[in-house]
Amino acid sequence: GAGVSQTPSNKVTEKGKYVELRCDPISGHTALYWYRQSLGQGPEFLIYFQGTGAADDSGLPNDRFFAVRPEGSVSTLKIQRTERGDSAVYLCASSMGPGRANTGELFFGEGSRLTVL
């Protein structure tokens, strides 16, 4: 499809395990964002990529969280030693270029729901 694609849509894992969540942005979009949405809360910013580089990772909660975008397209969010508090929906968004949050031109995927038992 033409939208932002996220896989898996659902992931159940055990405490302490390693998890990878994938985001495939809209073709041609150079900016990519990860957000986390906990139950009953709005999405919270995690990290923003412009091209291959993480331009702003100020929202990553701790060093168990890491994200890459090696070729400037697909991105993977990696969570090590998962904890129950990591359970949330992880949202990915993309935009044509930087600064597009100001104009609302962010396109969101449906999210990956992570449950840590």
Partner 1 sequence: GNSVTQMEGPVTLSEEAFLTINCTYTATGYPSLFWYVQYPGEGLQLLLKATKADDKGSNKGFEATYRKETTSFHLEKGSVQVSDSAVYFCALSGDSGNKLVFGAGTILRVKS
Nearest in space to 51 (alpha carbons), one of 33, 28, 75, 30 = 30
> Residue 86: exposed, middle, or buried by beta-carbon count in 10 A (0-12, 13-18, 19+)?
buried
100: contact with partner 1 by CB under 8 A: yes
Residues 42-71 that bind partner 1 (CB under 8 A): 42-45, 48, 50, 55-56, 59
Among 30, 57, 101, 113, binds partner 1 (CB under 8 A): 101
Question: By C-beta, is 43 or 79 nearer to partner 1?
Answer: 43
Least distance from partner 1 to the Cβ atom of residue 4, Å: 7
25: contact with partner 1 by CB under 8 A: no
104: contact with partner 1 by CB under 8 A: yes
- HSE (side-chain half, CA atoms, 13 Å) at 42: 1
Q: How many Cβ atoms from other residues are within 10 Å of residue 75's Cβ?
A: 25
Helix (H) or strand (E) holding 83: none
CA 107 – CA 28 distance, rounded (Å): 13
Among 7, 41, 52, 80, binds partner 1 (CB under 8 A): 41
Residues that bind partner 1 (CB under 8 A): 3-4, 31, 33, 35, 40-45, 48, 50, 55-56, 59, 91, 93, 98-111
